[in-house]
């Protein structure tokens, strides 16, 4: 596995993967010193480029190869997250129902929280059933910022 870093408005993103795809994108909370790896796989270079475009409001969808590691259930949840369109939100209850088990809401929330692909698998688009911002591994301030970036009417804050 190789890694690269991208400065974003929300901190430094670490992108890790190999020729099989990007396995992890995470945000670093502290300022870190980093040196670029040489000979990065194309998938990592594509991810870095596409994330940069996302933050520049030039991209709404990602099309590089993904290879996250997780249980079969987690993979199923992450796949469902990929179906939440840019600029839209869903609730944990809606996801649970979509996956065929409304009682699995806590398991869905747990899988959502273990999503290894920050932004690309859009767990930030999942909110409470009452429309409230709910837990987010990257911090609620980042979730709010991302939802506002994706909002169809940027002058109107969702939260």
Catalytic site positions: 123
B/e letters for 70-93, b = 16+ CB within 10 Å, e = fewer, are eeeebeebbebbeebeeeebbbbe
Q: What is the largest CA-CA distance in the chain?
A: 47
Torsion angle (degrees, nearest 10) of CA 72, 83, 29, 10: 170
For the chain, counts of helices (H) and of strands (E): 5, 5
């Amino acid at each position: 596995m190789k890694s690269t870093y991208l400065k974003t408005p929300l901190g430094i993103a670490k992108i890790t993967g190999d020729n099989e795809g990007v396995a992890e994108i995470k945000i670093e909370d502290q300022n870190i010193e980093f040196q670029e790896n040489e000979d990065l796989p194309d998938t990592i270079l594509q991810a870095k480029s596409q994330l940069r475009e996302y933050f520049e409001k030039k991209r709404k969808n990602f099309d590089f190869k993904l290879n996250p590691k997780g249980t079969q259930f987690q993979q199923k949840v992450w796949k469902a997250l990929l179906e939440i369109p840019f600029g839209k939100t869903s609730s944990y209850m809606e996801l649970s129902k979509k996956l065929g088990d409304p009682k699995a809401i806590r398991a869905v929330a747990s899988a959502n929280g273990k999503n290894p692909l920050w932004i690309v698998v859009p767990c930030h688009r999942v909110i409470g059933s009452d429309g409230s911002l709910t837990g987010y591994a990257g911090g609620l301030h980042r979730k709010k910022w991302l939802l506002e970036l994706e909002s169809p009417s940027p002058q109107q804050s969702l939260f």
